[in-house]
């Protein structure tokens, strides 16, 4: 995940470079004009995402599981909504 400046929570030059590298590895190269937009979005999202991550790491939340299981629709070994592991037809 791209890093933020500790004092401001804003994506700095290092974080923008990290985002560009991640995008390039995913075959989604970003031009300079798009990098500024990505940096603004990440600066808005990452502080709250980090706070939620810290909160959910607390012991009282360790047993929580997502209500929705995300699996590709084409997966032959998809699980049912209860997570019981029932194979898809």
pTM of the model: 0.49
DSSP string, 35-84: HHHHHHHHHHHHHHHHHHHHHHTSGGGTT---SS----TT-TT---TT--
Dist. CA 1–CA 19, nearest whole Å: 8
Could you report the per-residue pLDDT of 12-57, keeping only the tens digit for each? 777 788 888 888 889 988 888 888 888 888 888 888 888 998 998 9
Question: In sequence order, what are the beta bridge partners of 4?
Answer: 11
Task: Return the closest-CA partner of residue 39 out of 83, 9, 82.
Answer: 9
Kindly list the domain boundaries of the chain, sorted by start residue. Answer: 1-81
């Amino acid at each position: 995940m791209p890093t933020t400046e500790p004092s401001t929570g804003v994506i700095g030059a290092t974080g923008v470079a990290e985002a560009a590298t991640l995008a390039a590895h995913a075959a989604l190269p970003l031009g300079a004009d798009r990098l500024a937009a990505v940096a603004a979005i990440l600066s808005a999202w990452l502080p709250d995402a980090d706070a939620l991550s810290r909160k959910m790491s607390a012991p009282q939340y360790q047993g929580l599981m997502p209500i929705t299981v995300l699996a590709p629709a084409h997966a032959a070994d998809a699980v049912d909504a209860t997570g019981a592991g029932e194979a898809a037809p």
